[in-house]
Structure 1
Amino acid sequence: MTATTEHSIPTMSAKDIPQEAFDWYDEYAHGDIDRRTFLSRLGSLSIAGLTLPVVAGALLPNYALAEQVSFNDSDIQASYVTFDTPNGHGQGRGYLVIPKGVDANNKAPTVLVAHENRGLNPYIEDVARRLAKAGFIAFAPDALFPLGGYPGNDDEGRVMQKTLDGAKIEGDFMDAASLLEKHAYGTGKVGMVGFCYGGYLTNTLAANMPNTIAAAAPFYGTPAKAHIEQIKGPLQLHFAELDKRVNATWPAYEEALKKHKVPYTAYVYTNANHGFHNDSTARYQEKNAELAWSRTLEFFTQNLAS
């Protein structure tokens, strides 16, 4: 029997993939090129001993690799709940995970989890479970609920999310934050973490809901478009060194944060690509991902304590 390391890509590792392939995947994942163009570019690479299906398979998500906390872990209780979103699409649905022993008499801080630009996929659900395992009530809304919810694959989810009104998605997540602030088992302290598009949402809610979001941790997210001066809670920002697209937005954002005296800490992870925390693809970097996550948990523990 051959053993494989947890979260590894058995057929190919990141070091085997040219940086151009990661850059093209980022363009594809964010809608700048279509799937055919992405695969055509991959096919143009000369990678000794590796076929196009192997390279593409390493870059595209395999969510069997992304489960760190089982959905039936005895330390958590997970369920799907619907909620009213008057500032968004009218009604939303999300994945709520509560730590064992938390109730109205033994409350816990809450964390809103914002997914990427493709809906509530299994990786983001696992992030919510990881937070609950660490003692936080976690809630991960699905922006695609108005269209029937995450369809089971990222390609279709990405296309679906592009058809939605961005302002209404923001409203859905704002109403989710308000729900957490008033949750019967919550302390009233709300943190937020998001990835990629969810990182943008995290920056946006920190700016638009400064009295609700007590601590925000965007991972490779672009800045809020307005009201940066309103941010009160501290930001902990995580960037990937090789993520040219997002990193190009950081200098102006940092200047605005400094101008308005917003408390923040920014980390840049060496040789990391956009999406390095997502353990379902070859972009995942275990060392950097675990360091960023440990910093995030410590950040929430410090800033969401009652």
Structure 2
Amino acid sequence: MTDADFSSNPDLRQRAIALYDAFTHAAQSGQRDRRAFMRELSLLVGSATAAQALLAGIGANSAAAAILPADDKRIKAQSIDWPAANGRKLTGYTARPAGPVVKRPAVMVIHENRGLNDHIRDITRRIALAGYLAVAPDFLSVAGGTPTDEDKARDMIGKLDLAATVADAVATVHWLGHIAQSTGKVGAVGFCWGGAMVNRVAIGAGDMLRAGVAYYGPTPDPTRAASVKAAMLLHYAGLDDRVNAGAPAWISALKAAKVDVQAFTYPGVNHAFNNDTSADRYNKGAADLSWERTLGFFEAKLGG
């Protein structure tokens, strides 16, 4: 096969996305071999040049324009740090509506497995614009912070102590619930790795977390569902077989535990459909609808 018009060959494009998904979500960094991935992608599409062209659309583009620019006058945003679990400290990014400091519901924004980057900062500002005190932790703070190299960030994410990371996230929920700018009502939203973290934080935070929104997040052990006290909103991508495999058992367990849970699957879209920096996986229709549902959910469960 020679260089292809990928837009007119959806099967080829989907097979390439599946390869990329497997590469970027390998359980351990030792299983993540970029050279092997590029060889396999080149064989699939016919040449290294075609592989690079396709990858440019599938992967996230750090130079993509933000939906809500960092200098938007409606928002006050800055870097911040706060106490985490067991004497650790997290750094991150916070945003709130411009103007007088008043008490607001707080929302923790949890990044993908690429760490805290400009896309997640953009989402944090969008949450703030909806009327919330938004905080996006860099969970790689404990390892020196998110690097610019996404493959390195993924490797670092894979090496985190999961229990300690969840404890840091739960500590962040407690911190957000008690700072002067907060009403005490705390929610969380996360994407991919961050979606999985929202599920785990809901287990660990108890009733300190009022609302959790997980975008295409791998699910925890369903037997832990009874520990969830937050209302939950779960977004799934119709083509995301890897994540969707665990979704029915988790949703059923939450319902059995009398958790207030809503789950939506968006047909025909891929994992990361909300990430507007990834041209070939972003789906505006699904992203807009899920965002409308997310903000409506936070309004109902946290107030605005």
Does TM-score exceed 0.5, indicating one fold?
yes
Q: CA deviation at 1:53?
A: 1.5
Residue identity in the other structure for 2:226: E
SS at match of 1:179: helix
Alignment correspondent of 2:21 = 26
2:111 pairs with 1:112: no
**TM-align CA RMSD:** 2.0
Amino acid corresponding to residue 54 of structure 1 in structure 2? A
Paired residues of 1:194 and 1:219 also in contact (CA < 8 A): yes
Report the counterpart of residue 277 of structure 2 in structure 1: 280
CA offset at residue 194 of structure 1? 0.4
Query: Conserved in 2, the CA contact under 8 Å of 1:13 and 1:58?
Result: no
How far apart are the structure 2 equivalents of 1:249 and 1:278? 22
Aligned counterpart for 1:94 among listed residues 87, 92, 95: 92
2:117 corresponds to which letter in structure 1?
Answer: N
Q: Unaligned regions of 5+ residues in structure 2, if any?
A: none
Alignment partners' CA distance in 2, 1:128 and 1:79: 11
- Distance, in Å, in 2 between the alignment partners of 1:46 and 1:97 is 42
Q: 1:14 and 1:228 mapped to 2: Cα distance?
A: 43
- How much has 1:102 moved relative to structure 2? 4.8
CA distance in 2, matches of 1:34, 1:71: 34
* 2:295 equivalent to 1:297: yes
Check the 8 A contact 1:240/1:276 in 2, yes or no: yes
User: Would the alpha carbon gap of residues 209 and 156 (structure 1) be closer, same or farther in structure 2, given more than 3 Å must change?
Assistant: same
Pick which of 262-271 and 220-229 moved more: 220-229
After superposing the two structures, state which structure 1 stretch, 198-207 or 25-34, moved more: 25-34
The aligned residue for residue 58 of structure 1 is 57
State the alpha-carbon separation in 2 of the partners of residues 143 and 27 from structure 1.
22
Please give the TM-score of this superposition, normalised by the length of structure 1.
Answer: 0.90
Corresponding position: 1:185 with 2:181: yes
Pairing partner for 2:139 from 143, 152, 158? 143
- 1:70 match: secondary structure: coil
Other structure's SS at 2:72 match: coil
User: Measured at CA, do residues 278 and 66 of structure 1 come closer, stay the same or move farther in structure 2, by a change above 3 Å?
Assistant: farther
1:270 is aligned to 267
Q: How high is the TM-score relative to the length of structure 2?
A: 0.90
Larger helix percent: 2
Partner of 1:258: 255
CA distance in 2 between counterparts of 1:73 and 1:119 reads: 23
Shift of 1:117: 1.6
- Counting aligned pairs with the same residue, the percent is 37
Q: Which residue, 113, 125, 128 being the options, matches 2:121?
A: 125
Query: CA distance change for structure 1 residues 14 and 254 in 2, over 3 Å: closer, same or farther?
Result: farther
Residue correspondences, number: 292
- Where structure 1 has 5 or more consecutive residues not aligned to the other structure, the ranges are 1-10
Distance in 2 separating the partners of 1:159 and 1:273: 23
